[in-house]
Amino acid sequence: MTGRNIAVFGAGGDLSGDPCRDANNTQWSTAMFCYTARRFVRKADLLDMDPQEIKSLIENGLEGAEVSVFSEDNTHYAALVVSEEFAGKRPIARHQMVYRCLGELMGNEIHAMSIRAHTAAEWQEIQANNDG
């Protein structure tokens, strides 16, 4: 990902010194453009995340999970997560487990994500039903 240590371009053409994110690195300032590497970048361009980055975060958070993440615009995503850690858990708990892997990226860099979370046995059954 790019644009993590950036300054806001302030009014009057000078650098205000404020980061695009607050001291806790959790919220964007209200500025529309950021200055990084001596060029101006729209904040929307900094928010894009590659689906592979999201896949890696989920895999790191759910050991042994098989993960596929898709996106056409790098803002809205669809994830298929197959993990034995989902056994005995309701769908909302499964989604919360995936959200925990992504932390503060949800609602920021990741605007929206559709999640299909299954155990291996559930996923095999779904595939078998779709093949028949």
What is the per-residue DSSP string for 66-90? Answer: EEEEE-SSSSEEEEEEE-GGGTT--
**Domain presence at residue 79:** yes
> In this predicted structure, what is the pLDDT of residue 74?
85
Looking at the predicted structure, is the pLDDT value of residue 49 above 70? yes
Q: Which domain holds residue 27?
A: 7-47
Q: What is the mean pLDDT of residues 13-40?
A: 42
Count how many domains the chain has. Answer: 2
30/94 same-domain check = no
> CA 34, 40, 45, 48 torsion: positive or negative?
negative
Residues 6+ apart with CB under 8 A from 59: 65, 67
> Are 27 and 66 in the same domain?
no
Does one domain contain both 23 and 65? Answer: no
- Write down the pLDDT at residue 47: 56
The verdict on 76 and 24 lying in the same domain is no
Helix and strand counts by DSSP (H, E) for the chain: 4, 7
The domain that holds 86 is classified in CATH as 3.30.300.90
pLDDT at residue 34 tops 80 = no
Are both 75 and 125 inside the same structural domain? Answer: yes
